[in-house]
Chain A
Amino acid sequence: MCAFHIDDKTPKPRLSYEQLLRRFERETIARIEAEQLLETKSRELHRTNLALTKAAKVLEDHRRQLETTLDQTLLAILLVRKDGTIHHANKLAMKTFRLNEDYFAGLHVTDLFEEIIPESQWVKGDLSKVESLREIAVETTGKRTDGTTFPVEYAVSRTKLKGQQVSVWVARNITDRKDAEKRRQSLEAELRQAQKLESLGTLASGVAHEINTPIQYISDNVQFLKESFQDLIKFVKTSQDVVEALKKADPQAPEIQTYREQFKDLDLDFVLEEAPSALSQSLHGLQQVATIVKAIKEFSHPGSHKMSPVDINRAITTTLAVSRNQWKYACDVSLLLEDNLPSVMGLAGDINQVLLNLIVNAVDAIVEKDPQERGVVTLQTQKIHTDELGDAVEIRVTDTGTGIAPDVASRMFDPFFTTKAVGKGTGQGLAITYNIICTKHGGSIECQSPPGEGATFILRLPCQQERSEKEVRE
């Protein structure tokens, strides 16, 4: 219809009112729809915006939480670039390695760890799959930026950050654990030592019993022989006189000849002279054996785990008797033991062990100074009274050996500290000594070593152990 008239120059036919009305309605509807759409869209936009803000906040929260966690964690965490330089360190890592924000940018992991595990051993993937650090950890020495070191344990895992390969280094300062391990080891060593002494003691008292019985009858027999021999000598002398008398009466008597020949064959002059001293020496030797057996029995004191009165002077002579072989070639022993020394309440076996340690140390120092020259070990005891200990016994062990350097003196009571060659000392002796005297007996120990003059160990043991208990009760 009208479309057929497009090419016509004829004006368009005017729209009818109805037509206009319809168009207007149509347009109105379209606008309303458009506006509705706009509103919906802008509402959607607003919602999205809200969600995004919220998400951003959650993310920020997470980030902060993560950072706080990382900073508060008991592990030092380092993010390390592929070239080994430090990218990021958490607070504890900063503290552990004494890092400085401005400074660590140029640091390399090798500046922080003594030993770096090869990359092939790094954990692939994330660390969360590893149940504990110990499973994969490497123990080495950590190096602080100020040059000090500490025992450290660390593990490495690999991950990607912004497309870059990075590694996460998780480290822990294990000084406390190492110390605890050391303490445990030293306790174990002490226990082993105690067990060794205990079994030695049990063995010794068994052996002592076995030896004492034969010593009893050998001594009795030798004593008997000695007495009998003295009687025999008397008798032989008398018979010699008789022979002389007979000779005067009848010089040619064949019996006299036989007597003289036998006297000569038996070398009786020699026998008469030597036999008594042979027997005396044997008795003396037996006495020595008996003394040593007794000393070993007393020294080891099997089964004395409770405090009882200990005679320190006796403990010293006993310990010297047992350790004679260790000192007799190197030094002389000088004893300055106070008479009427009060006894101390203590564990005799432990105190003997302390004395043995100190004597052996003194002898070692003497030999170290000059293996050719004989030194002197002086053992001195005296009764003292101090405010801390009350009545006490002081033991001084002085040697003429190498003396103790000040840097050694400050560490010598540490467990496992030794200046002796590998295999020569366990480093346990003085630590055990310290523990026995100070911890178990409430005493004190100190060492004086003026340069070039040998060393003196001064031990003080209180006479009464129950003093403190009494005071508490009163």
Chain B
Amino acid sequence: MKPIVLFVDDEPNVLRALRRMMRKQNDVWDMRFAESGAEALDILVNTPAKAVVSDMRMPGMDGAELLDVVSEAMPETVRIVLSGEADRTLTLRTIGKSHRFLPKPCSAETLIAAIDIPLQLRTELDLAGVDDLDSVWTPKEIHDVLANELHAENLNLDAIIRLIENDPALSMQVLQLANSAYFGPAISTVSVDEAVRHLGADLLRSLLDNQRLTRVGPPSRVNPDLPQPTSELAKECRQAMSELDGDPTLIDAAYTSGLLWAVAGQIAHAKGEPCPTQQAQTAAYLASLLSLPIEMVVALRTLHPEHDAEISGDPAHHIAAGLKDAMMRDHNPMSMH
């Protein structure tokens, strides 16, 4: 059965044009179109969509409200905002409820890739546990320290970056925000450092104060006794990569890969079947939801699935080596935009 993709926009011309332009995707997706939030919910009740693409400003139920309902009721959907709006308060409400923000006008290729890549990765996964990026939480202690740092009179951005880097949930959040056009133009980055600098302390503070930056809770909802502390593995990956190759982008990519790998491991562990292939697929899926550069998604997806045993032996080194291989295969710089 073809996955259902639902498009929501109050401007019928946009929907009709999308239908026309996307007609070739008819072979891949079952596309539905709704002119309002309410109509979208009606459709979703009978036909559970795998992806929802919604405009933001709509009369009645707006995009933020719709995506809020969808993320609660169907957390496994891929949720994309397609909007010409730059209204910060409105955008703020979609943080955590949507995976990606695409500004209008958006080309067919970009839109199709944004839907297709996570959907494909998702289809091969079949993991009921991978409902959402919200499966990772930030411990309250870290959240409180970060809040203090962000409200400190003398802002120390380096300290803020170190804090965020050490928390998987926060790292994933800043990477997602920077790689998407929620607030200003998107950049293509795999570096938490770069992402934080791009977003700026003011935005992070306003997100934190509005409880949009991260979910606060016990260390992990997925698994209380972690196989390996997430940020430790990430650091090992970074170390392994710096021994392999001094390229700063690769080193950043290794850190982020380690982070995603560890989070994927927690998810797999929670399902009770920790298998490296599935862990690689999950990590790649997470990377695609964060809108990370396509090379990174591909690299994670192709992390030596045939050498399961070796990976479990010394994961950091294998992630670094695999990442380097995958990146070298693709000669493009780290960019999918």
A-side residues, CB < 8 A to B, are 205, 208-221, 223-224, 227, 286, 290, 294, 297-298, 303, 306-309, 314, 343, 466, 469-470, 472-473
Contacts of B23 in A (CB 8 A): 224
| Residues of chain B in range 105-131 having any CB-CB distance to chain A below 8 Å | 105-108
| Residues of chain B in range 78-128 having any CB-CB distance to chain A below 8 Å | 82, 84-86, 88, 103-108
Say if the beta carbon of B38 comes within 8 Å of chain A. no
A209 to B14, CA, bound (A): 13
Does A216 contact B105, Cβ atoms closer than 8 Å? Answer: yes
Q: List 7 A-B contacts (CB under 8 A).
A: A213-B14, A216-B105, A217-B18, A220-B20, A224-B17, A308-B200, A469-B155
Does A223 contact B21, Cβ atoms closer than 8 Å? Answer: yes
Does A298 contact B185, Cβ atoms closer than 8 Å? Answer: yes
Say if the beta carbon of B325 comes within 8 Å of chain A. no
Closest CB-CB distance, B192 to chain A, in whole Å? Answer: 14
Q: Which A-chain residue is minimally distant from B84 (CB atoms)? A: A212
A298 to B156, CA, bound (A): 27
Does A470 contact B103, Cβ atoms closer than 8 Å? Answer: no
10 further interface pairs, Cβ-Cβ under 8 Å (given A213-B104, A215-B105, A227-B24): A208-B84, A209-B84, A210-B84, A212-B105, A216-B82, A216-B105, A308-B203, A314-B185, A472-B154, A473-B154
A290 to B104, CA, bound (A): 9
Contacts of B107 in A (CB 8 A): 219
Q: Which B-chain residue is minimally distant from A215 (CB atoms)? A: B105
Q: Which A-chain residue is minimally distant from B108 (CB atoms)? A: A223
Contacts of A286 in B (CB 8 A): 105
A297 to B197, CA, bound (A): 21
Does A470 contact B154, Cβ atoms closer than 8 Å? Answer: yes
A286 to B24, CA, bound (A): 22
Does A213 contact B202, Cβ atoms closer than 8 Å? Answer: no
Q: Which B-chain residue is minimally distant from A290 (CB atoms)? A: B105
Contacts of B18 in A (CB 8 A): 217, 220
Contacts of B20 in A (CB 8 A): 220-221, 224
A216 to B108, CA, bound (A): 10
Does A217 contact B202, Cβ atoms closer than 8 Å? Answer: no
| Nearest 9 interchain pairs by C-beta | A212-B84, A220-B17, A217-B17, A308-B200, A224-B20, A220-B21, A212-B104, A216-B105, A215-B105
Contacts of B157 in A (CB 8 A): 466
Does B14 contact A221, Cβ atoms closer than 8 Å? Answer: no
| Residues of chain B in range 181-206 having any CB-CB distance to chain A below 8 Å | 184-185, 197-198, 200, 202-203
Does A221 contact B154, Cβ atoms closer than 8 Å? Answer: no
Does B21 contact A303, Cβ atoms closer than 8 Å? Answer: no
Closest CB-CB distance, A230 to chain B, in whole Å? Answer: 12
Does B86 contact A209, Cβ atoms closer than 8 Å? Answer: yes
Say if the beta carbon of B16 comes within 8 Å of chain A. yes
A408 to B14, CA, bound (A): 55
Q: Which B-chain residue is minimally distant from A306 (CB atoms)? A: B202
Contacts of A217 in B (CB 8 A): 11, 13-14, 16-18
Does B86 contact A213, Cβ atoms closer than 8 Å? Answer: no
Closest CB-CB distance, A285 to chain B, in whole Å? Answer: 13
Size category, B interface: 20 to 34
Closest CB-CB distance, B206 to chain A, in whole Å? Answer: 10
* Chain A interface mostly: helix
Closest CB-CB distance, A392 to chain B, in whole Å? Answer: 16
Closest CB-CB distance, B293 to chain A, in whole Å? Answer: 16
Name B104's contact: one of A216, A470, A473 (CB within 8 Å): A216
Name A470's contact: one of B82, B84, B156, B184 (CB within 8 Å): B156
Q: Which B-chain residue is minimally distant from A223 (CB atoms)? A: B21
Does A466 contact B155, Cβ atoms closer than 8 Å? Answer: yes
Does A309 contact B198, Cβ atoms closer than 8 Å? Answer: yes
The answer to whether A303 and B198 touch (CB under 8 A), given A215-B105, A216-B17, A223-B108, is: no
Does A303 contact B202, Cβ atoms closer than 8 Å? Answer: no
Does B86 contact A208, Cβ atoms closer than 8 Å? Answer: yes
A214 to B84, CA, bound (A): 10
Contacts of B88 in A (CB 8 A): 303
Q: Which B-chain residue is minimally distant from A302 (CB atoms)? A: B86
Q: Which A-chain residue is minimally distant from B24 (CB atoms)? A: A227
The answer to whether A212 and B103 touch (CB under 8 A), given A221-B17, A223-B108, A466-B155, is: yes
A215 to B88, CA, bound (A): 22
Q: Which A-chain residue is minimally distant from B249 (CB atoms)? A: A340
A217 to B154, CA, bound (A): 47
A223 to B110, CA, bound (A): 14
Contact with A along B63-80 (1 / 0, CB 8 A): 000000000000000000
Closest CB-CB distance, B225 to chain A, in whole Å? Answer: 39
A223 to B20, CA, bound (A): 9
Closest CB-CB distance, A340 to chain B, in whole Å? Answer: 10
Does A213 contact B84, Cβ atoms closer than 8 Å? Answer: yes
| Residues of chain B in range 1-59 having any CB-CB distance to chain A below 8 Å | 11, 13-14, 16-18, 20-21, 23-24, 57
A306 to B202, CA, bound (A): 8
Contacts of A219 in B (CB 8 A): 17, 105, 107
Does A205 contact B105, Cβ atoms closer than 8 Å? Answer: no
A208 to B87, CA, bound (A): 12
| Residues of chain B in range 143-194 having any CB-CB distance to chain A below 8 Å | 154-157, 184-185
The answer to whether A209 and B21 touch (CB under 8 A), given A215-B104, A466-B155, is: no
A303 to B202, CA, bound (A): 12
Name B21's contact: one of A208, A211, A221, A469 (CB within 8 Å): A221
Q: Which B-chain residue is minimally distant from A228 (CB atoms)? A: B20
A252 to B107, CA, bound (A): 50
Does A466 contact B154, Cβ atoms closer than 8 Å? Answer: yes
Closest CB-CB distance, A65 to chain B, in whole Å? Answer: 55
A154 to B85, CA, bound (A): 60
Contacts of A308 in B (CB 8 A): 200, 202-203
Closest CB-CB distance, A27 to chain B, in whole Å? Answer: 108
Q: Which A-chain residue is minimally distant from B16 (CB atoms)? A: A217
Contacts of B105 in A (CB 8 A): 212, 215-216, 219, 286, 290
Q: Which B-chain residue is minimally distant from A297 (CB atoms)? A: B86
Most chain-A CB neighbours within 10 Å: which of B17, B107, B198?
Answer: B17
Does B14 contact A216, Cβ atoms closer than 8 Å? Answer: yes
Q: Which A-chain residue is minimally distant from B187 (CB atoms)? A: A311
Does B108 contact A309, Cβ atoms closer than 8 Å? Answer: no
Contacts of A214 in B (CB 8 A): 13
Most chain-A CB neighbours within 10 Å: which of B57, B105, B157?
Answer: B105
Does B200 contact A309, Cβ atoms closer than 8 Å? Answer: yes
A472 to B21, CA, bound (A): 58
Q: Which A-chain residue is minimally distant from B106 (CB atoms)? A: A216
Contacts of A303 in B (CB 8 A): 88
Contacts of B14 in A (CB 8 A): 213, 216-217, 220
A218 to B84, CA, bound (A): 14
Q: Which B-chain residue is minimally distant from A463 (CB atoms)? A: B197
Q: Which A-chain residue is minimally distant from B13 (CB atoms)? A: A217
A212 to B103, CA, bound (A): 9
